[in-house]
Each structure stands twice: as structure tokens, then as C-alpha cells.
């Protein structure tokens, strides 16, 4: 699984869990409203009303807790995939390639082309980072932009999770009405960040794009 796919899978898992929790919470809130009406109509007594309310409150609390647990598990899985994608792992690069990079001085244009190929064709971010190291050794400032890519994706995940928690706490329904847009926005943010990263070979210290 690519890093981009792992982020989108995390978005799907979190948003689906939030939607499921919202359904259970909405149901419990409807029951609570019915319970209040039953108390007013004297269908249920004060003690029964309190017992019912406590049960419905527990349903709401359990739904929120289940969402938090699922979201945390999804983030844990995401963290593992992030490490698998971006942690330096020389075994992902052939011995011949490592020897080539240690012996040959690449030009900036050559490095830019190889970085893009490593990202786009192979999804081999370890190789891309080794190419960065090759040109940096020569004093060519080719910036590894993986950190900003990861940051943008994690900002999207964090914002989505915060919005989900706010939605589950909100009794007005305002968050729920716009939830689809929130999820779509998170997916778009990740896609834009990924497209920018995959199409880039890095930037110079002056912030100018490096052309291959």
C-alpha cells in the first residue's frame, strides 16, 4: 500500500466510524426526547424516567468511546505505514544502486529526474532520499520535501478527527449536515499534497522549484 493510499484508508476508517457513532447517538437522543414526552404524559414515572435516561446517556457515551478507539487504532496503523514508507531502509535499494550513488556525482537535473522516477514509478521514497543525500554531499541544495508532505496529510487527519469529535458532541445537527463536505475536503487536501510531492524533486534553499 502506498503512503497516499494509507492516508485515504485512514480517512475512510475514521469517517465511517464517526458516521456509525452518529447514527447510534441520534437514535439515543430520539429515545431521550421520547422519554421526556412520556414523563410529561405520565406514561413513565420519575424513577423510570431517570433509569431510561441513564441508559440512553450510556449509549451515547459508548458510541463516542467506540469512535475514539477506532480512530486511535486507525492512526496507529497509519503510523506504521508512514514508517514503512519513509523510514530509511537501505534494503529497499539494490546494492548496485547504492554503489552507483556512492561513486557517481549526479547533476542537479539528473538528480531531479531520478527523484521523480523513484517517487512516481517505484514509490521508493528511500531511494529518493538517498539521491537527495548524493547531491547534498556535492553542495547542491536539493531539499527533501517529504516532511512537508507528511505534515499536510497529518493536518488533514487531525482536522477530520477533531471535526468528528465535535460532530458527536453537537446536538444541533450543524456538524452532521456538513460532514460529507468535511470528508471530501480532507480527501482533496491529501490528493493535492500527494500530487505536489510526487511531481516535485524538491526545492532550493531559496524556495525555487528544481526542474528536472
* Digit-coded pLDDT (tens) for 180-194: 999 999 999 999 999
Which DSSP category does 119 fall into?
Answer: I
Give the integer Cα–Cα distance in Å for 7 and 16: 14
Mean pLDDT of 14-34: 97
Q: What is the pLDDT of residues 89-144, one digit of tens each?
A: 666 788 888 888 888 888 888 888 898 888 888 788 888 888 888 888 888 877 77
Instruction: Tell me how far apart the alpha carbons of residues 96 and 94 are, in angstroms, rounded to a whole number.
Output: 5
Give the tens place of pLDDT for each residue, 156-169.
Answer: 999 999 999 999 99
Q: What is the pTM of this model?
A: 0.83
180's CB contacts (< 8 A; 6+ apart) are: none
Q: CB count, 10 Å around CB of 94?
A: 11
- Nearest CA-CA partner of 199 in 126, 145, 139, 132: 145
- CA atoms of 132 and 144, how far apart (whole Å): 7
Grid cell of 152 as nine digits: 499536510
CB 151 within 8 A of CB 2: no
Give tens-digit pLDDT for 43-102: 989 999 999 999 999 999 999 999 999 999 999 999 999 988 887 666 678 888 888 888
Amino acid at each position: 500500500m502506498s503512503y497516499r493510499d494509507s492516508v485515504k484508508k485512514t480517512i475512510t476508517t475514521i469517517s465511517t466510524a464517526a458516521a456509525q457513532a452518529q447514527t447510534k447517538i441520534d437514535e439515543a437522543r430520539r429515545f431521550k426526547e421520547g422519554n421526556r414526552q412520556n414523563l410529561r404524559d405520565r406514561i413513565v414515572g420519575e424513577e423510570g424516567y431517570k433509569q431510561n435516561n441513564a441508559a440512553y446517556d450510556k449509549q451515547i457515551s459508548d458510541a463516542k468511546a467506540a469512535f475514539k478507539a477506532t480512530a486511535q487504532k486507525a492512526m496507529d496503523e497509519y503510523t506504521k505505514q508512514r514508517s514503512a514508507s519513509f523510514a530509511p531502509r537501505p534494503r529497499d535499494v539494490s546494492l548496485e544502486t547504492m554503489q552507483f550513488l556512492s561513486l557517481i556525482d549526479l547533476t542537479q537535473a539528473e538528480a531531479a529526474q531520478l527523484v521523480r522516477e523513484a517517487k512516481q514509478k517505484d514509490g521508493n521514497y528511500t531511494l529518493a532520499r538517498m539521491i537527495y543525500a548524493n547531491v547534498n554531499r556535492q553542495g547542491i541544495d536539493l531539499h527533501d520535501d517529504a516532511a512537508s508532505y507528511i505534515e499536510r496529510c497529518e493536518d488533514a487527519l487531525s482536522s477530520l478527527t477533531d471535526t468528528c469529535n465535535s460532530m458527536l458532541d453537537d446536538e444541533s445537527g450543524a456538524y452532521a449536515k456538513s460532514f460529507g463536505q468535511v470528508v471530501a475536503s480532507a480527501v482533496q487536501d491529501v490528493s493535492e499534497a500527494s500530487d505536489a510531492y510526487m511531481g516535485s524533486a524538491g526545492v532550493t534553499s531559496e524556495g525555487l522549484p528544481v526542474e528536472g
